[in-house]
Structure 1
Amino acid sequence: MSHALHPAQIAALNSQTRLPVLAAVAVGFAVAVVKWDTRRKTRLTLAHLTDYQLKDIGLDRLSAHAEASKPFWQG
C-alpha cells in the first residue's frame, strides 16, 4: 500500500490560500519526492519493455534506452 498523496490531494494542499512557511516547504518537498519516485518507476518499467511493447507505444529501443537512462531528478 502506498502512502503517497494522490495528485488531487497535492493540488488541494497547494491551492490553500496561505500555508505556514514550514508546511509550504514540506509540501514542496513531498511533491518533488513523489515526482522523482514516479519518474524512477516509469523509467524502470520502460527499460524492461519488449520490442513489441515499445513499438505499440511508438518508441524504438534507442529512444527508450535514452529515456530510461536519465536520472530520476531529470525531467
Structure 2
Amino acid sequence: MNLNFDWPGIVRTLLVQVLVLLALTGAVVWYLNWSSGLALEEFIRADKSSVSSSNHQSQVPAQTVKSKSACAPKA
C-alpha cells in the first residue's frame, strides 16, 4: 500500500479554499453594509416627508363606523 501524499498540493488546495472563503465573507459584509446604508437613507427620507406632510390638514374626510343595529340579527 502506497501512502505517499502530495502535501504541497493539499496545502495549496486548503489555502485557495480559505482565500475564497475570506473573499466571499468580505463581499457579504460589504453588501450588507451597503444595503443597510441605503435602507437607512430611505427610512430617513420617508420619515422627513411624513413629518412635513403631517403639518398640513388632511383633505380626506373621516368615515363613520356603522352601528351594530345595521347588521341583521342572527337566528
Compare relative contact order (CA 8 Å, sep 6+) and give the higher one, 1 or 2: 1
TM-score by length of 1: 0.43
TM-score by length of 2: 0.43
From the CA coordinates, give the structure whose radius of gyration is larger: 2
